[in-house]
Amino acid sequence: MKDPTHLHLFTHVVEEGSFSAAARILGVTPSSVSRQISALESDLGARLFNRTTRTQSLTEAGEIFFRHTHRIVSDIEEAQLAVRRLTDTPSGSLHVTVETDFAITYLSPILPDFLKRYPDVQVRLSMTTDVIGLVHGGIDLAIRIGHLADSSLIARKLFTSRSVVCASPDYIKSRGCPMHPHELTQHECISFRVQSGQTYWGFKELDRELNVPISGRVNANSLIFLCDAAINGLGIAMIPFWMIQKELKNGHLIAILKDYPLDPPSTPINAVFAHNRHLAPKVRVFVDFLREQLEAR
């Protein structure tokens, strides 16, 4: 092959979907991309794209060629990035999407240490319960709570979250403490709810699954609100342990039904990004920092 850089160009055209899109990414003109692709086809002796005035698609030869070049280009870029990481200083704006409750409860207290360690990084948080597309939303990193759907995104597990069924001392004093999950039907239960309908809490009793219908006069789609409501004696709540460690320790909340494991027992929390290639230092160090903080807890 006369010019190996054509492999990189060809891969970008396929991944971006058009000559013009690849040209914008590479900072060249579409005509330059077209000429280089034509030169590559001439060098290979095969047509790689079916071209029309508005679109292009891979030929059979193009599809075979891409399967090989994609792997080759990925390996080259990974090698280059590994070398750059030795000297690159994390910098720039880091755009993170994360659920509001997790951002306020967990990220806010540790951000000062991160910013002190990496003074050239600016953090922009988009706090929402909606799933924002990483690529089209201009997001560098997403922190997702719950099991992930299959996709081309790369996920790195930060930690596993478990929940605790709890209530305030005042509530237990006035209403009593349930000793079995089925007794929850006789109590005010504060549930996390985003849609109408019956809510169930799942438990395990030996090898048996218990799906207990719960109800109460207060429901919300904010864990922070549920925590405050439980502390104020409005009912029994199921809240992630990472959110209420201090409250359990200082006695503002009391864990109940500890002999009955929750089902499911835990929920994964993942850092999600578009791909391993071109993973910016600012993203890499933020993910490493989160894991470091979690391991220290």
Q: Which of 51-55, 90-94, 197-201, 254-258 has the lowest mean pLDDT?
A: 51-55
Does residue 270 or residue 276 have the better pLDDT?
A: 270
Average pLDDT, rounded, for the chain: 85
Residue 74 has pLDDT above 80, yes or no: no
Lowest mean pLDDT across 55-59, 61-65, 67-71, 150-154: 150-154
CATH number at 92-159+267-296: 3.40.190.10
User: Distances in Å between the alpha carbon of 196 and those of 113, 168, 220?
Assistant: 40, 26, 11
Is the pLDDT reported for residue 278 higher than 90?
no
Residue 8 three-state SS: helix
CB within 8 Å of 59: residues ≥ 6 apart = 46, 47, 48, 49, 50
What order do you get walking across the sheet with 267-273 strand by strand? 121-127, 92-98, 141-145, 267-273, 154-161
65: tokens are 């060629």
**Does pLDDT of 127 surpass 90?**
no
| Residue bearing the bigger pLDDT, 143 or 280 | 143
pLDDT in tens, 28-37: 888 888 888 8
Residue 278 or residue 286, greater confidence: 286
HSE-up (13 A, CA, CB side) for residue 235: 21
Assigned CATH for 5-84: 1.10.10.10
Mean per-residue pLDDT, 275-283: 71
In the prediction, which pLDDT does 54 show? Answer: 66
Q: How far apart are CA 85 and CA 6, in angstroms?
A: 25
Q: Average pLDDT for residues 163-188, to the nearest whole number? A: 96
Does 5-84 match 92-159+267-296 in CATH topology? no
**Each residue's pLDDT tens digit, 204-240:** 998 899 999 999 999 998 999 999 999 999 999 999 9
| Residue 189 pLDDT | 96
pTM listed for this prediction? 0.64
Rounded to the nearest 10°, the torsion over CA 266, 269, 274, 276 is -90
Q: Strands 56-58, 49-51: parallel, antiparallel or unpaired by DSSP?
A: antiparallel
**Would you list the domain boundaries of the chain?**
5-84, 92-159+267-296, 163-255
Task: Select the CATH number that applies to the domain covering 163-255 from these four: 2.60.40.10, 3.30.70.20, 3.40.50.2300, 3.40.190.10.
Answer: 3.40.190.10
157, burial (CB in 10 Å: exposed 0-12, middle 13-18, buried 19+) = exposed
d(CA 20, CA 34): 9
Which candidate, 292, 277, 296, places its Cα nearest to that of 118? 292
Q: Is the CA virtual torsion 237, 243, 245, 250 positive or negative?
A: negative
Once rounded to an integer, what is the mean pLDDT over residues 62-76?
Answer: 82
Return the pLDDT at 175: 95
Query: Is 90 exceeded by the pLDDT of residue 15?
Result: no
> Among positive and negative, which fits the CA dihedral 10, 28, 135, 285?
positive
Question: What is Dmax (Cα atoms) for the chain?
Answer: 84
Q: Rounded distance, CA 70 to CA 14, Å? A: 9
